[in-house]
Amino acid sequence: MTIKNQLDEFRIFAKRLSRKLQIPHHNALDIIAMQQGHAHWKALMKAWDQGWRPAPWDVIDIKESSVIESPIRGFGKVKTTEGDVAGEPYTLSVYFDEVLIGGNGWGIHLGHAPSEPAEIETYTKPNPLDDKAFFSQVMKIAMAAADEVREAIAKDWGPASMQPEEDGSAKHPLFGGVSSEWHCLHCDTHSTGPQMAANMWHCPKCNASPLDIHPAAVPKEPVPPS
């Protein structure tokens, strides 16, 4: 593989990653850079200009990473089912990493993180969700679907990320780093490997996404003197 092709591989992978995670391309490039041990893409390019090169197996690994969208599950693929509870209709939509269930005048959203509370919206009064038995049943349906989504994602990520070692170390499902302590860039707190795995690699404190989770605080670029 030529030097030019190594950078091209990273850029192509970043495009696929940005589509899968629904993030800007420059954020996906930063993920690639951090997986290679750099603070962000600009830092990787600076190191490149100074002679740094990725090992050949690093490029192969990034092509085979579980971050790449599988042909079975992916963004844009929605599984929709319809049903009713006590005669009240509902529609259940299962996306790549979230679940929506709704009906006449109401909707419930369950996200990727188990710690994230359900988002409940009502648009009419009185509302079917006012009935505690109905609300309990539709939540049971939505939670079962969310558990299946999380189980599928955990399978995609593999045991290295979802089953920490005895010392608490676990592998980041997106960046590939291994650590027993993880730092959240969003709320500036630390969590253990088991805590991260249990919460699907979202921050247990603030529910920030796996993109904000790193083995150590990412160093900030020095501010040039004015």
Cβ–Cβ under 8 Å, residues 184 and 172? no
* Mean pLDDT across 6-31: 75
Q: Which structure tokens are listed for 92?
A: 């259940």
Residues 87 and 149 in one domain: yes
Answer positive or negative: Cα dihedral of 186, 27, 41, 2. positive
* Rg (the chain; Cα; Å): 21
Whether 152 and 91 share a structural domain:
yes
Q: Among 106, 126, 156, where does a domain finish?
A: 156
pLDDT at 67: 47
> Is the domain of 144 the same as that of 108?
yes
Q: Give pTM, 2 decimals.
A: 0.64
- Indicate if the pLDDT at residue 158 is higher than 60: yes
What band does 77 get if pLDDT is binned at 50, 70 and 90?
low
51 and 87: one domain? no
- Residue 219 maps to a domain: no
Give the pLDDT confidence of 87-140 residue by residue, as tens digits: 999 999 988 788 999 999 999 999 889 999 999 999 999 999 999 999 999 999
72 located within any domain:
no
Are 89 and 151 within one domain?
yes
Give residue 109's pLDDT.
93
| pLDDT for the residue numbered 224 | 57
147 and 174 part of one domain: no
Decide if 98 is inside a domain: yes
**Same domain, yes or no, for 140 and 90?**
yes
Whether the per-residue pLDDT at 62 is higher than 70: the answer is no
- pLDDT surpasses 90 at 25: no
Which of 64, 95, 111 terminates a domain? The answer is 64
Say if residue 139 is in the same domain as residue 207.
no
Residues 175 and 143 in one domain: no
CA–CA distance, 190 with 217 (Å, rounded to integer): 10
Classify residue 146: in a domain, yes or no: yes
Complete DSSP assignment for the chain = --HHHHHHHHHHHHHHHHHHHT--HHHHHHHHHHHTT-SSHHHHHHHHHTT----HHHHHHHHH-TTSPPSSS-TT--EEEEEEETTEEEEEEE-SS-EEEEETTEEEEE-S-TTSPPEEEE-SSS-GGGSHHHHHHHHHHHHHHHHHHHHHHHHHH-HHHHS--TTS-EE-TTT--EESEEEETTT--EEEHHHHHHTTTS-TTT---GGGEESSPPPPPPPPP-
Domain of residue 10, residue span: 3-64
Domain boundary among 156, 181, 201: 156
Our count of domains for the chain comes to: 3
Residue 82 CA to residue 144 CA, distance in Å, equals 15
38 in a domain, yes or no? yes
Q: Do 110 and 146 lie in a common domain?
A: yes
